[in-house]
Amino acid sequence: MKEEANYFQETRQKLNEYIQRRILLLKLQAADKVSHAASTIITATIITILVLFVLIFASIAAAYWLATLTGSLAAGFGIVALFYLFVFLFVILFLRKIIRNSFVDKFVKLIYKKD
């Protein structure tokens, strides 16, 4: 009888150790996924900000160049604004689903990526 009690205590202790180690493993895996996702998001944000700065300065340069061609500062900036309006409408009307699905797919692949 004593051997059975000892056996069950050992089994219970091993089961508790297994559960604790499994919890630790899950925490480490979650931390790895979160840190990888965060670093990807931060990198994408930095690249996006840099691209936006380049786009802003290129737009200002294009607006001033168009202003010299048209002879009107307002016309130059208006043409650039219309260009961005058309790009915005094109993206909204035709590419919104494609862009959204690609971001969702990339995010899901990032989270569930096997190492």
The reported pLDDT for the residue numbered 5 is 74
Contact between 66 and 80 (Cβ < 8 Å): yes
Assess whether pLDDT exceeds 70 at residue 114. Answer: no
Q: Which residues contact 111 (CB under 8 A, 6 or more apart)?
A: 33, 37
Query: For 28, phi and psi rounded to 5 degrees?
Result: -65, -40
Tell me which amino acid residue 76 is. Answer: G
Instruction: Give 8-28 pLDDT, tens digit per residue.
Output: 888 899 999 999 999 999 999
Q: Which DSSP symbol is given to 64?
A: H
| pLDDT-wise least confident of 18-22, 28-32, 109-113 | 109-113
For residue 59, which amino acid is it? S
55-68, pLDDT tens digit by residue?
Answer: 999 999 999 999 99
Q: Is the pTM of this model over 0.95?
A: no
Q: Which residue has the tokens 């840190």?
A: 35
